[in-house]
Structure 1
């Protein structure tokens, strides 16, 4: 019997369900390995920008089903909307059972003021020219597909995997500057408003770092993504940890028994019905 890790809070973002780049199977393994009191979905969970009814694999639906099951079993689920799932913003402040949809989340964690939001509000390309941002998103997805073929070839040759997009991000000055500016803007605003922690997604750069300016100090965190980095933020025993699926020890968890033989129609039916916990 697999023992699941009990956590106070888990933050994941930028899953991009419905795209070729999404690592849904690995995310499902992770979700099956934990029992969080509070699961925060910090934007871009479902990629509505690139949604295509011809491509939404069974594993992607199983991720949604697993989140619904966690909710039914008592986990509080907060869905913070991002730019790729912005259509859900019309349902802001909606609550259904243990699930709520919001634009941002404010928490008091053991006396520490915490501000969680996706981060696309800082992206000028999205605010001013959405079509450019969508074109860039399509190009990124194509790059991920190409990268998978490259890594398949490298593994056949016995060589290490390689990330094309990470190489671009690390070496293109404009990309490096954008990431630095994003982190500084979020941190400066958090300090100005008296937050001890500020947590974002959006830029796919997982990190935990202390930021200081003339006005004070805050801890900036980014939950990364489930396209390349496969990371999450975990809070337990008054401490934050950056979980890395590829580096941290993880016992392979099989999907829930109820999911093994479930067909696509059953899964769609399951995720459109809000489950309630059974009375004891």
Structure 2
């Protein structure tokens, strides 16, 4: 579907704030098409792009930019033009934007991090989180190697889920399973979360909202609310804030897409 037709659609669910991270535009594993479907149904007054929206690492190794990737960029620019507050916090994969802190691109603000004030008055540090990843900071070659391994795991995971769909079995995530089962991965996630919690406390914030590790979760850690947006490579998740200040992770699975989009299409057809 072209960008012009997308702009005519009216989202069915409106939130106070929407947090999206790790879209990895330019990478073959990016599921920008699903994110566009999600945005046809969901909208918000304020949208935070919490890093790794564009994958500069992938683009350096080989150009890949299908129409859906361009459509997402155009959609964000349109939202900014129509009055939505759009804030872009670069991550390690789109670190080329870090030289532009404090500037505006088509109405989109580029900042190092932000403090979001919730509807209930609580303060939340919004940050990508890669600066607390020792592998990224101290062994970039290892981070790039891990990135390639992750791409391979994504391809294998899609093959597995192709056969699962044939047999009517639901989606299964290889990388999420590995993160939960492999002790070192569990320890890594725990250390990452603890570091972000400490940083939120340093900002005198009640919570922290981040991305980077592709693991969506909302939990309380040491009196601080830790929230991770997840990603749009595999889990296809976003974090939303309701008008009453309540936060929720929305996982945009194939079933949820069908349940949300089919009634919306039918309603428009009947109008």
| Residues 69, 104 of structure 1: alpha-carbon distance in 2 compared, 3 angstrom cutoff | same
Listed as ranges, the gaps of 5+ residues in structure 1 are 255-280
Alignment of 1:26-105 (within 5 A): 26-51=34-59, 54-105=63-114
**Alignment partner, residue 161 of structure 1:** 171
Counterpart residue number, 2:224:
218
In the alignment, which residue of structure 2 is the partner of 1:272?
A: none
Hey, which of these two has a bigger chunk of helix by percent? 2
- The aligned runs of 1:9-24 (5 Å cut-off) are 9-24=17-32
- Once the two structures are superposed, what CA deviation does each residue of 1:11-38 show, in whole Å capped at 9, x if it has no partner? 0001111112111111001112223111
Which ranges of structure 2 fall in alignment gaps of 5 or more residues? 1-8, 266-271
Check conservation: 2:216, 2:227, Cα contact below 8 A: yes
Query: The residue matched to 1:84 in structure 2 has which SS?
Result: coil
CA offsets 1:183-233 (integer angstroms, 9 cap, x no match):
112113323432112101001111111122xxxx22110001111111111
Q: Does residue 252 of structure 2 align to residue 240 of structure 1?
A: no
Measure, in 1, the Cα distance between the counterparts of 2:51 and 2:76: 14
- 1:169–1:175: 8 Å Cα contact kept in structure 2? yes
Q: Deviations over 1:161-185 (max 9, x none)?
A: 3322122211111101000111112
Number of equivalenced pairs: 250
| 3 and 232 in structure 1: CA distance in 2 versus 1, 3 angstrom threshold | closer
CA distance in 1, matches of 2:110, 2:202: 26
Q: Do the aligned partners of residues 82 and 69 (structure 1) sit closer, same or farther apart at CA in structure 2, a change above 3 Å counting?
A: same
What do the CA deviations read for 1:1-57 (whole angstroms, capped 9, x no partner)? Answer: 755322211000011111121111110011122231111000001110111554211
1:251 is paired with a residue whose SS is helix
Taking structure 2 as the reference length, the TM-score comes to 0.86
**Secondary structure at 1:136's aligned position in 2?**
helix
Higher mean C-alpha deviation, range 59-68 or range 171-180: 59-68
Q: Deviation of residue 125 (structure 1)? A: 1.0
1:144 maps to: 154
Deviates more, 1:240-249 or 1:25-34: 240-249
For 1:7, which of 11, 15, 20 is the aligned residue? 15
After superposing the two structures, state which structure 1 stretch, 105-114 or 123-132, moved more.
Answer: 105-114
Equivalent residues of 1:75, 1:98 under 8 A apart: no
Superposed CA RMSD: 1.9
Report the alpha carbon displacement of residue 97 of structure 1 after superposing the two structures with TM: 4.7
- CA, structure 1 residues 125+150, in 2 after alignment: closer, same or farther (shift >3 Å)? same
